[in-house]
Amino acid sequence: MNKPRTLAEKVWDDHLVVKGEDGTPDLIYIDLHLVHEVTSPQAFDGLRQAGRPLRRLDLTIATEDHNTPTLAIDKPIADETSRIQIQTLRNNAEEFGVRLHSLGDIDQGIVHVVGPQLGLTMPGITVVCGDSHTSTHGAFGAMAFGIGTSEVEHVMATQTLPLKAFKTMAITVDGTLKTGVSAKDIILAVIAKIGANGGQGYVLEFRGSAIRALSMEGRMTICNMAIEAGARAGMVAPDQTTFDYLEGRPHAPQGADWDEAVAYWKTLPTDEGAVFDAEVLLDADQLEPFVTWGTNPGQGVSLSDVVPSPADFADPNDRAAAERALEYMDLTPGTKLKDIPVDAVFMGSCTNSRIEDLRAFASIIQGKKKADGVRVMVVPGSARVRIEAEAEGLDKIIEEFGAEWRFAGCSMCLGMNPDQLAPGERCASTSNRNFEGRQGKGGRTHLVSPLVAAATAIRGTLSSPSDLEG
């Protein structure tokens, strides 16, 4: 009888090319390498300088997302450095033979939306990308993690990475979410509980009845933000929800391959009796809509709460961080979160820009008008999500509400493209990072779910859908 293993250990073991000895890392095979314009130019350069080919073009795919504008996408990109970076990716893709989905292509979009949508992301595979939010793909039961540019070059050259085994942490979320509470609130609550660095060195396996009840979109939202707890990766064991999502997608296995794959995937869930290095429990019944008040994703509380005081933190580092965060965010301890007015609402990013997210947002704003003076931007995660949303009439609901309906890209999640906050502006954002200046220099970010973003856009202050009743 073999030792019981976790999901993460099984995927790791099945990708072991060379087992490390005497403190050297294992050599792990990479099944899928996702590439975008920001973290790849120096990697392609490295290959060129060393005269190395890209080893597995058939396991590599590129898309343009971080720099791309979300308006007037048929015009040349106005910012010269952005334009050069995108052109560099196009040149590199052509020179090396990498499949690329450029701006305007039907399969263009945020790299972490495109992979799953094409059926390339599947259970039991290893996925890397020069982007920390690669953890998203763990929602399928894949081992997926962000890497730096040197590692991008390493994967291009060898299709492997030298890695030391990650520790495992079980995050069990049991119970039933209340109406108005969603996957985003689960992960924000998890990060607040374990801290923005509580997951360092770990793969988080999200399990329990509340996770099983989530759609693939919800699971992707959760795994996406595993990195915001400092974790290397997040994973959810594959089940029928996973198989149903995948079946029939362009690159999903077909015929006998499908049957073989599903049979294998069913062996992946963590064995009874397997031991995790750490365990965390969360009660879904008690969860409320969550929001961040500070400048790291762990600085979050229930939306019905008040802005905390630095004195509430026992740890001196946490206290100093809270002081600095409150100053940057221009918030006073004791203020009710729901009394905080916003200047902007951003609905998008690799965390929350899939069709289900847009449907959730639209369901709240339908037939209503946005609050005066609040700028509301809705940015689909991919060109296909945009098309699907338009086929359902969501674009009309969004435009009648007074919000802007944009083209696909990373948009206002990070200040690399024209979509940015002005200094001092406050934004309720469905993205993943509330770091200082993340959405534009001097911008202030409150991370929220699509449902909270919608209610906030209606009322103009941080709000949950239940605040709209009566």
Partner 1 sequence: MEKFTTVTGVGVPLRRSGVDTDQIIPAVYLKRVTKTGFDDALFANWRQEPEFILNQPEYQGARVLVAGPDFGTGSSREHAVWALRDYGFDAVLAPKFADIFRGNSGKQGLLTGVISEADCEKLWSALEAQPGVELTVDLVEKKATLGDLVVPFEVDDYIRWRLLEGLDDIALTLRNEQAITDFEAKRAGWRPTTLPVRHA
What type of residue is 399?
E
Q: What single-letter DSSP state applies at residue 107? A: T
Q: What single-letter DSSP state applies at residue 306? A: B
CB of 420 to partner 1, least distance (A): 9
Does 438 sit near partner 1 (CB under 8 A)?
Answer: yes
Does 278 sit near partner 1 (CB under 8 A)?
Answer: no
CB of 470 to partner 1, least distance (A): 40
Partnered with residue 176 across adjacent β-strands are none
The answer to whether 461 and 341 are in contact (CB under 8 A) is: yes
Q: How far is CA 441 from the centre of its chain?
A: 22
Which residues in 29-68 contact partner 1 (CB under 8 A)?
Answer: 29, 31-32, 38-39, 41-42, 45, 50, 52, 57-61, 66-67
Size of the site for partner 1 (CB under 8 A): 83
Does 132 sit near partner 1 (CB under 8 A)?
Answer: yes
Which residues in 199-218 contact partner 1 (CB under 8 A)?
Answer: 200-201
Does 244 sit near partner 1 (CB under 8 A)?
Answer: no
C-alpha atoms less than 13 angstroms from C-alpha of 318 in its C-beta half-sphere: 17
Does 25 sit near partner 1 (CB under 8 A)?
Answer: yes
Does 446 sit near partner 1 (CB under 8 A)?
Answer: no
Does 73 sit near partner 1 (CB under 8 A)?
Answer: no
Q: Which stretch binds partner 1 (CB under 8 A): 119-127, 268-276, 348-356, 359-367?
A: 119-127
Nearer to partner 1, 60 or 430 (CB): 60
Which listed residue (175, 310, 418, 437) binds partner 1 by CB under 8 A? 437
Which residue is it, tokens 């709460």? 305
* Ramachandran angles phi, psi of 336, nearest 5°: -65, 130
The answer to whether 8 and 207 are in contact (CB under 8 A) is: no
User: What sign results for the dihedral spanned by CA atoms 210, 214, 219, 221?
Assistant: negative
Lay out the site mask for partner 1 across 75-94 (x = CB under 8 A, - = otherwise): ----x-xx-xx--x------
CB of 210 to partner 1, least distance (A): 27
Instruction: List Cα–Cα distances, 248 to 59, 254, 280, 356, in angstroms.
Output: 20, 8, 36, 19
Does 349 sit near partner 1 (CB under 8 A)?
Answer: no
Q: What single-letter DSSP state applies at residue 312? A: G
CB of 320 to partner 1, least distance (A): 7
Does 339 sit near partner 1 (CB under 8 A)?
Answer: no
Nearer to partner 1, 150 or 209 (CB): 150
CB of 204 to partner 1, least distance (A): 13
* Ramachandran angles phi, psi of 223, nearest 5°: -65, -35
What does 195-258 look like in DSSP terms, one character per residue? -TTTTTTEEEEEESHHHHTS-HHHHHHHHHGGGGGT-SEEE----HHHHHHHTT-TTS--HHHH
* Short-list 131, 101, 128, CA closest to 114: 101
Nearer to partner 1, 59 or 468 (CB): 59
Lay out the site mask for partner 1 across 284-323 (x = CB under 8 A, - = otherwise): ------------x--------------------x--xx--
What is the rounded CA–CA span in Å between residue 380 and residue 395?
Answer: 10
Partnered with residue 207 across adjacent β-strands are 172
Geometric angle at alpha carbon 385, from 381 and 390, rounded to 5°: 125
Lay out the site mask for partner 1 across 352-391 (x = CB under 8 A, - = otherwise): --------------------------------x-------
Which listed residue (11, 93, 113, 125) binds partner 1 by CB under 8 A? 125
Q: Which stretch binds partner 1 (CB under 8 A): 22-30, 357-365, 367-375, 399-407?
A: 22-30
Which residues in 143-202 contact partner 1 (CB under 8 A)?
Answer: 146-151, 153-154, 157-160, 162, 164, 196-197, 200-201
